[in-house]
Amino acid sequence: MTQRRSPKAIDLKTLIRDVPDFPRPGILFRDVTPLMADAAAFRETIDRLAERAGEYRPAAIVGIESRGFIFGATVAAKLGVGFVPIRKPGKLPFRTRQQRYELEYGSDGVEIHIDALDGGARVVIVDDLLATGGTAGAALNLVSGIGAKVVAALFVIELRALRGRDRLPGVPVHALIGY
């Protein structure tokens, strides 16, 4: 059984930078790069994500482009499980499955290799931010579409007012920082 640490050593929220009007006017962007630049805070972030992910006994971690690659791959390495990238269309070299989705400021799509996960594999989705849930919901659909099972979704930041977790029905959602 995983032993929980208490209390949290670093207030990660103090290392999130607010960037107004990015990428468009009216959007307040929550920037995780100061957190990643602080070695102790980055290590603490990965430790907390890995601790939570480990509770779900995943066979793999799925990371969403692009900051999800940073957090997801390090969590996967810490847990000793595989890492599967979900990328923007046209970036993966093999046959893919694609899912379109709506963002809070437009639309986009993501892809996964069709053979990325074994049927029935337990996976945890990891990304830096949960906002409207469009990207995470698309990732859930992709993973399910190739026969694997999303057992949890983990985020560094959740923008609660945007109700992104509603796009992940039946999936436990955890965030280290909430706004």
Does residue 104 carry a catalytic annotation? Answer: yes
As its CATH architecture, domain 12-178 has 3-Layer(aba) Sandwich (3.40)
Give the sign of the dihedral formed by CA 57, CA 164, CA 116, CA 92: negative
Cβ atoms of 136 and 168 within 8 Å: the answer is yes
* Active-site position among 67, 87, 165, 167: 67
Q: Could you read off the pLDDT tens digit of each residue along the chain, which spans 179 residues? A: 344 444 568 999 999 999 999 988 998 999 999 999 999 999 999 999 999 999 999 999 999 999 999 999 999 999 999 999 999 999 999 999 999 987 666 789 999 999 999 999 999 999 999 999 999 999 999 999 999 999 999 999 999 999 999 999 999 999 999 99
Does residue 102 carry a catalytic annotation? Answer: no
Cβ atoms of 117 and 60 within 8 Å: the answer is yes
Neighbour tally for 63: CB within 10 Å: 27
CA end-to-end distance (rounded Å), the chain: 30
pLDDT in tens, 107-158: 899 999 999 999 999 999 999 999 999 999 999 999 999 999 999 999 999 9
